[in-house]
């Protein structure tokens, strides 16, 4: 039996009745469920008979946790390992998209605390063709992981930024929706992460509560009047959840919006329109979320001018036409982005890191493609392909040289079982590996993936 801090148990008594508390504690002694979410661009299924998650029809529960980084299908973006209850956030986006906006609307959405990318890739999968998602992560190492996961997911509708919440607030009302999965005390992860138990304290709960307030109030002005802020945590106490939401509403005039879903009966409400996922009721870990709508009659503070200055960059990528994509340049890198958006707004976003999918760079008059273009779903770059067997695939994911003589030299897209993994430069005696160094795998991979493409 897991031993929980006495103060945590006392806190639960202040939140839940006795029967709910006992059922919750019992569930926290049961091993965590393992779940993945399938990419909508692949018509595939898990190799085992997997149960569908109630939160997402493309979510699947696995019998055990495999080593995902050892599976080439993961690197090809065929699926993403995501905790099941966090998939409710994607369902919230779909609910709002379908019930509060017109189909022809072009939505601008911010995922404020986005790394490692589970909620980001889920939201991006549910967007209309001209919707745009900004995925933000302020910690550099986590920002790099976010970019990698978004690139492998490959839907081409996501921008990566690295900025504190107040910088978005200073930029003025840009977004139709802001998703704030706030840093929290992590009580909902107790059965999944033993460190979360050892690091828990009432002082940390207070610290998280204050930080969440700062983040929400800082980012609030970035939301358009009438727009929606989706606030979530993975913790059980009231301080970081209902008490915080009460303060948000009192100080901003925000209204709580009821959430509708066919499986809504799985959700637990202490207070109306504020939803909890409890492990004994909903398959997954602990989660709290609610939808806050900004009043239409509140006049936002005037937006500050962006400090971004356009560079006279004459370096261009390859001359290609992408149906439904626009081209942007940041520094030496050429990017493409799905839809047709205001370039000044995109390039002026706070902390802009990647304004779309990087196509590549030009060095000494030669184009060096980025592996992200191979992972972009539904786009043909007219680049030759080369198929790798399991051994060569392992070498590629380790970022090693591959002694496979090509038919001709130049950039190639490497394939495994018909799926794109990245790019390489074919030379006379083999393939120079162009996989980004930070994406390389440090172990072997399985010949049999946990998913297969039908």
Residues in the chain: 454
Facing residues of 432 across strands?
Answer: 425
β-sheet with 430-433: strand ranges across: 385-387, 410-416, 419-427, 430-433
Question: Which residue out of 180, 184, 234, 290 is catalytically annotated?
Answer: 234
What distance in Å separates the CA atoms of residue 35 and residue 284, rounded to the nearest whole number? 9
Q: Which of 91, 88, 93, 69 is nearest to 80 (CA)?
A: 69
What distance in Å separates the CA atoms of residue 109 and residue 228, rounded to the nearest whole number? 10
What distance in Å separates the CA atoms of residue 154 and residue 152, rounded to the nearest whole number? 5
Tokens 């962006």, located at residue = 306
- What region does 156 belong to: left with phi over 0, alpha with psi -120 to 50, or beta? left
Give the rounded distance of the alpha carbon of 243 from its chain centre.
27
Q: Checking DSSP bridges between strand 132-136 and strand 108-111, what pairing results, if any?
A: parallel
> What residue ranges in 63-190 does DSSP mark as E strands?
79-81, 108-111, 132-136, 158-161, 175-181
Q: Is 184 a catalytic residue?
A: no
∠ CA 385-390-393, rounded to 5°: 50
What distance in Å separates the CA atoms of residue 252 and residue 298, rounded to the nearest whole number? 9
Greatest Cα pair distance, the chain, in angstroms, is: 72
Here the tokens at position 431 are 């393939």
CA-based radius of gyration for the chain: 23
Tokens 């909903």, located at residue = 282
Q: Which residues are catalytic?
A: 234
């Amino acid at each position: 039996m897991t031993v929980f801090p006495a103060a945590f148990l006392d806190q639960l008594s202040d939140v839940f009745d006795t029967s709910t508390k006992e059922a919750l504690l019992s569930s926290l002694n049961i091993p965590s469920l393992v779940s993945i979410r399938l990419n909508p661009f692949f018509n595939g299924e898990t190799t085992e008979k997997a149960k569908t998650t109630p939160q997402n029809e493309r979510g699947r529960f696995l019998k055990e946790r495999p080593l995902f980084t050892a599976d080439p299908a993961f690197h090809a973006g065929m699926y993403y390992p995501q905790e099941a209850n966090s998939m409710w956030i994607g369902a919230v986006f779909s609910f709002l998209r379908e019930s509060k906006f017109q189909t022809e609307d072009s939505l601008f959405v911010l995922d404020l605390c986005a790394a490692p990318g589970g909620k980001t890739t889920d939201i991006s999968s549910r967007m209309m063709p001209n919707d745009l998602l900004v995925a933000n992560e302020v910690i550099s190492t986590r920002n790099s992981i976010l970019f990698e996961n978004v690139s492998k997911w490959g839907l081409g509708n996501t921008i990566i930024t690295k900025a504190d919440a107040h910088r978005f607030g200073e930029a003025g009302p840009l977004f139709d929706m802001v998703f704030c999965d706030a840093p929290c005390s992590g009580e909902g992860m107790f059965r999944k992460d033993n460190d979360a138990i050892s690091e828990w304290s009432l002082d940390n709960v207070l610290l998280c509560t204050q930080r969440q307030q700062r983040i929400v109030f800082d980012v609030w002005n970035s939301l358009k009047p009438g727009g929606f802020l989706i606030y979530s945590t993975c913790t059980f106490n009231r301080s970081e959840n209902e008490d915080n939401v009460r303060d948000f509403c009192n100080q901003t005039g925000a209204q709580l919006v009821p959430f509708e879903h066919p499986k809504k009966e799985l959700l637990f409400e202490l207070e109306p329109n504020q939803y909890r996922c409890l492990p004994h009721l909903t398959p997954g870990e602990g989660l709290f979320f609610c939808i806050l709508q900004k009043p239409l009659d509140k006049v936002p503070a005037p937006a500050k001018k962006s400090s971004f200055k356009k560079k006279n960059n004459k370096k261009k990528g390859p001359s290609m036409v992408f149906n439904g994509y626009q081209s942007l340049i940041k520094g030496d890198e050429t990017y493409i982005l799905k839809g047709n958006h205001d370039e000044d707004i995109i390039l002026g976003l706070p902390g802009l890191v990647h304004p779309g999918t990087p196509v590549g760079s030009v060095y000494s008059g030669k184009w060096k493609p980025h592996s992200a273009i191979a992972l972009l779903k539904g786009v043909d770059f007219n680049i030759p392909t080369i198929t790798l067997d399991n051994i060569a695939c392992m070498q590629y994911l380790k970022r090693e040289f591959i002694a496979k003589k090509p038919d001709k030299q130049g950039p190639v897209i490497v394939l495994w079982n018909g799926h794109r993994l990245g790019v390489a430069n074919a030379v006379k005696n083999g393939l120079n590996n162009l996989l980004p160094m930070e994406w390389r795998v440090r172990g072997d991979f399985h010949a049999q993936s946990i998913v297969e493409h039908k």
